Amino acid sequence: MKSSKINKIAVLTSGGDAPGMNAAIRSVVRACAFHKIECIGVYKGYQGLIEGEFKIFNARSVNNIINKGGTKLKSARSKEFRTLEGRQKAFEIVKENSIDALVVIGGDGSFTGGMIFQKEFGIPVIGIPGTIDNDIFGTSHTLGYDTALNTVVEVIDKIRDTAISHSRLFFVEVMGRDAGHIALNTGIGAGAEEILIPEEDMGLDRLLESLKKSKISGKASSIVVVAEGDKIGKNVFELAEYVETNLPDYEVRVSVLGHMQRGGAPSCFDRVLASRMGVKAVESLMEGESSVMVGIQNGQMTLTPLSKAIKGKSKINTELIRVSEIMTT
């Protein structure tokens, strides 16, 4: 859908926060300032749009945030925006304030809301993928993913120190509601013995077999990385108990990394990616694009229809699965 001239853009962050969101806000605001477009920062995601909670941002409003985790605009998962009444209220605010377009920084839930809003009220929406899970189709990297990988590897390295000292087997649960990207990459990066991801159900027998083998091969301590959304049928504590019962030679501990994975200063990669995505989002709106998501594919900025970004599945790299198997030899 081609839009008319864009004079005012509103930017918001929605869903789970991710490192790099602030850098993306900064980029949208500065790209607007560069192109003489008014920019509005909406607080608390779609809920803030419904409640009219926003401020006019100029280039100086986003000083000193490129290096900060979290989101200056705050984030929320708005239940009200899921209803037509809620979206109608948001549209009234958009109309009253002469907002011509929206840039939504978030994950698939946030894009679904944006897509429906554009369909119902004709307000152009562009998405910037921000989630540590990297589970969005149409981009090789979402904002925050690279930072989260580095955070997790750093922590598992520390867990390894204590695992070695006590000759223990650690189950480390990492985030990833439906996707194993964090688990697979950090598992390889931190030298895990096994990696359990939702995309591949290795089964309990194979897990026991593999741990038995590694003990026989002379490994005294081990790390198993488990994605939060793993489908093996037991949560990480039940899994640990099951292994300890069946392999009494192992002394098992569990570490659930949790929300610390979403915090911290963004990596250089995420800062650069966010800066590129913000510029691309604003300039695409100026060119009349809408209902698309900005992404990075083969190093280039791309646009993918929101409908595809939401429905398509980001695929697990099967080469990585093979590499991880070879590395546990």
**Would you name the residues annotated as active-site residues?**
133
* Residue with Cβ nearer ligand F6P (123 or 236): 236
Beta bridge partners of 168: 251
- Site residues (CB under 6 A) for ligand F6P? 16, 107, 131-133, 175-177, 228, 262
* Residue with Cβ nearer ligand F6P (256 or 321): 256
Give the nearest distance from C-beta 102 to ligand F6P in angstroms. Answer: 21
Give the nearest distance from C-beta 276 to ligand F6P in angstroms. Answer: 22
Give the nearest distance from C-beta 143 to ligand F6P in angstroms. Answer: 12
Give the nearest distance from C-beta 119 to ligand F6P in angstroms. Answer: 24
* Residue with Cβ nearer ligand F6P (177 or 206): 177
* Residue with Cβ nearer ligand F6P (228 or 289): 228
Residue with tokens 């993913």: 145
Q: Using the Cα atoms of residue 280, residue 315, residue 71 and residue 4 in order, give the sign of their dihedral.
A: positive
Structure tokens at 240: 């640990």
Give the H/E segment covering residue 225: strand 222-227
Helix axes 268-286, 21-34, angle to 10 degrees: 40
* Residue with Cβ nearer ligand F6P (48 or 106): 106
* Residue with Cβ nearer ligand F6P (37 or 152): 152
Residues in the chain: 329
Give the count of alpha carbons within 13 A of 48, CB side only: 21
Give the nearest distance from C-beta 77 to ligand F6P in angstroms. Answer: 7
Helix runs in the chain, H state only: 21-34, 45-50, 84-96, 108-121, 145-166, 181-189, 204-216, 236-246, 268-286, 306-311, 318-327
Give the nearest distance from C-beta 107 to ligand F6P in angstroms. Answer: 6
Dihedral in degrees, nearest 10, Cα atoms 101, 287, 293, 89: 10
Structure tokens at 283: 């300039």
At 227 the three-state DSSP class reads strand
* Residue with Cβ nearer ligand F6P (38 or 228): 228
- Rounded CA-CA distance 60/31 in Å is 12
Structure tokens at 44: 């608390």
Burial 186-219 (b: 16+ CB within 10 A, else e): bbbbbbbbbbbbbbbebeeeebeebbeebeeeee
Structure tokens at 39: 């920019």
Give the nearest distance from C-beta 269 to ligand F6P in angstroms. Answer: 18
**Residue 222 and residue 172 in contact, taking contact as beta carbons nearer than 8 Å:** no
